[in-house]
Amino acid sequence: MKIIAGNWKMNGTRTGLETMVRDLSSVETENTVILCVPFTMLGVKSDCVALGAQDVSRHTHGAYTGEVSAQMVADTGAKYVIVGHSERRQYHHETNSIVRDKASNALANGLIPIICVGETMDEKQAGKTMAVIESGVRESVPSDVNTDIIIAYEPRWAIGAGLTPTAAEIADAHALIAKTLADMGLAGTPVLYGASVKGNNAAEIMSIPNVDGVLVGGASLKSDDFIPIITSVK
């Protein structure tokens, strides 16, 4: 059983999500299917797919105009929230410490945070991939975790670019993350791979050791693209 999570980013409508949920309802799978959608679409009825947000405030409540708290996300019935996505880190200068606060708020409100880590192209070229991944996990995961979290390894240079690391690079990254989580007392935490996953590479990626599922951006927007990923593995 794998976890197949979609990230709609700033795309879609409530009607589009309802259509997607209808399309997914006829898919036979034992995999866990999650769709992380814009805040405005949370609350759409979705029996066959769990909904999540794509971000949450690092603050709990109060005078933070435009922000949405973890409590508010949980109040919609959502179960998950992505924190530390590379686009948040890049465009909103989110650091590991901010991501950790967001993950803590999510956990305090019963949400499962999908905590993203991954290296930029500059970091990759400077030979820092493994160091960035390890510090990303150690610094972004709250210290007092005693419940479910999910980690997503997303090489930032590959997201939305149609590029993927080699299978050996993915295997090395996931082995390091699994070892780091075990060191932190979090053995068994699911680790997803994300960046340019499509129907034609999903099965191969999910056959790599320590890859417990995928986080899918562009190819989660249309059921014709998303369903083949969901059904590519048992």
- Tally helices (H) and strands (E) across the chain: 9, 8
Measured CA to CA, the distance from residue 165 to residue 157 in angstroms comes to: 9
Measured CA to CA, the distance from residue 153 to residue 16 in angstroms comes to: 28
- Among residues 44, 197, 205, 206, the one that binds ligand PEP under rule CB under 6 A: 197
With 0-12 / 13-18 / 19 or more C-beta atoms within 10 angstroms meaning exposed / middle / buried, residue 70 is: buried
Q: Which of 94, 119, 154, 174 is catalytic?
A: 154
195 is a contact residue toward ligand PEP (CB under 6 A): yes
Annotated catalytic, 174? no
For ligand PEP, the closer of residues 172 and 225 by Cβ is 225
Orientation angle between helical segments 223-230 and 14-25, nearest 10 degrees: 40
Residue number closest to ligand PEP, CB atom: 217
CA angle 228, 149, 20 (to 5 degrees): 30
Which DSSP state fits 114? E
For ligand PEP, the closer of residues 53 and 65 by Cβ is 53
Residue numbers 136-155 binding ligand PEP by CB under 6 A: 154
**Nearest distance from C-beta of residue 158 to ligand PEP, angstroms:** 7
Q: Report the candidate in 191, 82, 55, 89 with the shortest Cα–Cα distance to residue 134.
A: 191
- Among residues 196, 206, 211, 226, the one that binds ligand PEP under rule CB under 6 A: 196
Question: Which are the contacts of 11, defined by CB distance < 8 A and separation ≥ 6?
Answer: 38, 221
Annotated catalytic, 85? yes
Residue numbers 5-34 binding ligand PEP by CB under 6 A: 7
With 0-12 / 13-18 / 19 or more C-beta atoms within 10 angstroms meaning exposed / middle / buried, residue 231 is: middle
Kindly determine how many residues on this chain lie close enough to bind ligand PEP according to the rule CB under 6 A: 13
Residue numbers 67-86 binding ligand PEP by CB under 6 A: none
159 is a contact residue toward ligand PEP (CB under 6 A): yes
For ligand PEP, the closer of residues 128 and 199 by Cβ is 199
CA angle 143, 148, 151 (to 5 degrees): 75
- Among residues 142, 190, 213, 218, the one that binds ligand PEP under rule CB under 6 A: 218
216 is a contact residue toward ligand PEP (CB under 6 A): yes
Q: Which of 85, 87, 94, 119 is catalytic?
A: 85
Q: Which of these ranges, 12-20, 71-79, 167-175, 191-199, lies near ligand PEP under the rule CB under 6 A?
A: 191-199
Sign of CA dihedral 53, 106, 103, 3: negative
Which chain residues interact with ligand PEP by CB under 6 A? 7, 154, 159-160, 194-197, 215-219
Q: Which residues are catalytic?
A: 85, 154
